[in-house]
């Protein structure tokens, strides 16, 4: 048995009544039996079954999600990502390699997940390390930037959802390098959280990471500081066809 009870030492008020454990009962059996005994005391209202949960909030099939002009949804995504002090580039597919190269201009080295489309890095002149699953954190710490794809983006919250797969990369990949560049396809953009969770629920046991802006803390006098542990810079590249210039012009008017 490990040491315990030290906190009670020197206290003015003492209460030493240890919780009872029933001999011969496993911890699991006992906790479940305690819970059943506790719930045997009925509450005033009827108990809540799954069907009783009121789902009047805006779910994935809400009109706001299904009927809003996708261009407007993408506009919202861009604004909300920028609110987190992250950079956003809107581009059409033909310009994607150039946009990626520009976002990575200051990085001397780059790591990419194994199944990242080769054409994405066509404009890159720097050293590219393709992750083979064996890169350790020390090696990753020596690489300036990481380029990944995305699974889903949430416009209402400015969130990028990565699945740990060949396009999103192992979770550590998008964590250790200081600059994270992520490519978002127009059809991956959801308006609200419920639609995003619905997309993720198709593969619930994958390793998921939801990213909203760069790493941040407000622990010192509530002043926001970027990059305590994760990447200090996040750069999102949104691929839109037809070209975004036309879309924004018509929606912002």
Partner 1 sequence: MSTARPVDLGMPSVRPQHASPSSRLRGAEGFPAAARRETQDATLRANLAHATGTIRAKRAGAVREVRDWQKLRDAGSAIKWQVTDHLPEMLERLEASVQAAGGTVHWARDAEEAGDIVTSLVLERGAEQVLKIKSMATQEIGLDETLAHAGVRAIESDLAELIVQLAGDTPSHILVPAIHRNRAEIREIFLAAMPDLSPDITDDPAELAGAARRFLREQFLDLTGGVAISGGNFAVAETGTVVIVESEGNGRMCLTLPKTLISVVGIEKIVPTFQDLEVFLQLLPRSSTGERMNPYTSLFTGVHEGDGPEEFHLVLLDNGRTAVLEDPEGRSALHCIRCSACLNVCPVYERAGGHAYGSTYPGPIGAILSPQMTGMHGPDDPNATLPYASSLCGACYDVCPVKIDIPSILVHLRAKGVDERRETRGQFHGTWDVAMQGMSRLMSSPRLYDTAVRSAGLAGRVKRSGNIGRLPSALPVIPGWTDHRDLPTPHQSFRSWWKDREKGEARGQEQGEHDEEGTA
Among 66-74, 99-107, 171-179, 243-251, which window interacts with partner 1 (CB under 8 A)?
Answer: 171-179
DSSP 63-114: HHHHHS-HHHHHHHHHHHHHHTT-EEEEE-GGGHHHHHHHHTTT-SEEEE-T
CB of 43 to partner 1, least distance (A): 4
Which C-beta is closer to partner 1: that of 125 or that of 205?
Answer: 205
CB of 21 or CB of 249, closer to partner 1: 21
Contact code string over 146-165 relative to partner 1, x by CB under 8 A: --------x-xxxx----x-
Q: In what order do the strands lie in the sheet with 109-112?
A: 87-91, 233-239, 179-185, 145-148, 109-112, 127-130
The window from 20-28, 96-104, 121-129, 143-151 that contacts partner 1 (CB under 8 A) reads 20-28
Residues ≥6 apart with Cβ < 8 Å to 71:
240, 247, 248, 250, 251
Q: Does 113 bind partner 1 (CB under 8 A)?
A: no
| Window of 48-56, 143-151, 181-189, 241-249 that interacts with partner 1 by CB under 8 A | 48-56
Binds partner 1 (CB under 8 A): choice among 97, 124, 172, 243: 172
Contact 200, 151 (CB under 8 A): yes
Task: Identify whether the C-beta of residue 192 lies closer than 8 Å to the C-beta of residue 65.
Answer: yes
Is residue 63 part of the contact set for partner 1 (CB under 8 A)? no
Beta carbon nearer to partner 1, 217 or 251: 217
Measure the CA–CA gap between 7 and 182, rounded to whole angstroms: 48
Rg, the chain, Cα only:
25
Site residues (CB under 8 A) for partner 1, limited to 68-87: 80, 83-84
Contact 122, 98 (CB under 8 A): no
d(CA 169, CA 113): 5
177 scored as a contact of partner 1 (CB under 8 A) = no
**Residue 59 near partner 1 by CB under 8 A:** yes
Residue (44 or 125) nearer to partner 1, CB: 44
């Amino acid at each position: 048995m490990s040491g315990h009870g030290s906190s009670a030492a020197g206290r003015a008020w003492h209460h030493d009544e240890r919780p009872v454990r029933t001999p011969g009962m496993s911890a699991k059996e006992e906790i479940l039996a305690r819970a059943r005994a506790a719930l045997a005391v009925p509450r005033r209202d009827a108990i809540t079954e799954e069907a009783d949960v009121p789902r009047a909030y805006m779910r994935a099939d809400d009109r706001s999600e299904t009927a809003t002009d996708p261009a407007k949804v993408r506009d919202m995504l861009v604004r909300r990502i920028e609110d987190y002090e992250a950079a956003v580039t809107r581009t059409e597919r033909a310009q994607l390699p150039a946009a990626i190269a520009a976002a990575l201009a200051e990085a001397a080295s780059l790591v990419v997940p194994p199944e990242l489309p080769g054409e994405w890095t066509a404009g890159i002149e720097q050293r590219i390390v393709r992750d083979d699953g064996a890169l350790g954190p020390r090696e990753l710490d020596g690489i300036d930037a990481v380029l990944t794809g995305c699974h889903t983006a949430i416009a209402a919250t400015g969130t990028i959802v990565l699945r740990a797969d060949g396009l999103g990369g192992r979770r550590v990949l998008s964590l250790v390098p200081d600059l994270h560049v992520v490519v978002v396809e127009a059809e991956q953009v959801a308006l609200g959280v419920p639609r995003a969770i619905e997309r993720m629920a198709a593969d619930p046991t994958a390793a998921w990471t939801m990213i909203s802006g760069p790493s941040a803390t407000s622990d010192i006098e509530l002043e926001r500081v970027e990059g305590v542990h994760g990447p200090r810079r996040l750069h999102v590249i949104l691929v839109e066809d037809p070209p975004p210039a036309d879309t924004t012009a018509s929606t912002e008017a």
